[in-house]
Amino acid sequence: MFLSMKTTKSYCMEDVEDFYDNVAETYYKDHMHRFVDEVFEHLLLQYLPKSPRNILDAGGGIGRFSFPLTKRGYTLVLTDISQKMIDRAKELASSENIKNISFFKESVTNMINQKNNFFDVVLLLNGVLDYCSSAKDALQEVHRVLKKHGLVIGTINNRFIYSTTNILLEKKDTNAFLKTFMTGNYAKNFPIHDFTHDEIMALLKDSDFEVIDILGPTNLLRKWEYETIVTEENRSALLALQLSFAKKKEYLNNSTDFFIIAKKI
């Protein structure tokens, strides 16, 4: 059963917007070269259509995933709830002379600027669905803007890992951990809903998507732990190792994130 976050739409949207407005200036330095995003990018490229298509990067921030795709010939639309993240993305696109990308400030739960049945692929990377006031509303919008048989590709926080880390480990509160683990709901910088494997599978099915695959892209180390050990010398070897383990289903629930590939029915 899907347990939706019991927060008002405006409360969640405003909190998420404020948080990303505040970190927009430092986001490039902190995130543009993260090891985990390199893992996500390699998996993304394995599932994207090979010929240039229209791609929506919903909640795309400063363009970490959009920009490499534009250089491969894809046409991108990047949306984000934070105007300052959009502004920073525009600056970076201009500095890299990227032309085949458009920008819109909007929430994934209300993509008012996007046409019906237009995109071949929608990206929901780095926990976009976890941060929505309603993941169900977000997936309905994704379904609306996708062409028939279009793909949604995204990463979703694994509730087991995040509740143990953010509640049990940090707060050392067993009661709060059990509540968070049962519902998936908690607040950190803003209200969050994290998913179990079965929950996200059911939600995608209920939203008229066929799941193609679910991978464990960070099942060797928790994604923030990689930054403590990765070096220029071992980066390639670690990347190859993690990519090989990402497809091992027996370790799926050890991954901090689920990497989802699904098709619009």
- Global pTM reads 0.93
**Percent of the chain's residues with pLDDT above 70:** 95
The ranges assigned to domains in the chain are 24-159+194-264
* CA atoms of 5 and 171, how far apart (whole Å): 21
Strand partners of residue 263: 151, 210
The pLDDT tens digits of the residues spanning 29-50 come to 878 789 999 999 999 999 998 8
**In the CATH scheme, what architecture does the domain 24-159+194-264 have?**
3-Layer(aba) Sandwich (3.40)
- Cβ–Cβ under 8 Å, residues 55 and 75: yes
pLDDT of residue 12: 54
Burial of 114: CB neighbours in 10 Å, binned 0-12, 13-18, 19+: buried
Which residues on neighbouring strands pair with residue 107, listed in sequence order?
Answer: 110
What 3-state class would DSSP assign to 76? strand
Structure tokens at 5: 């976050």
DSSP state of 129: G
Report the distance separating Cα 177 and Cα 153, nearest Å. Answer: 29
* Residue that has been written with the tokens 């991978």 in this structure: 215
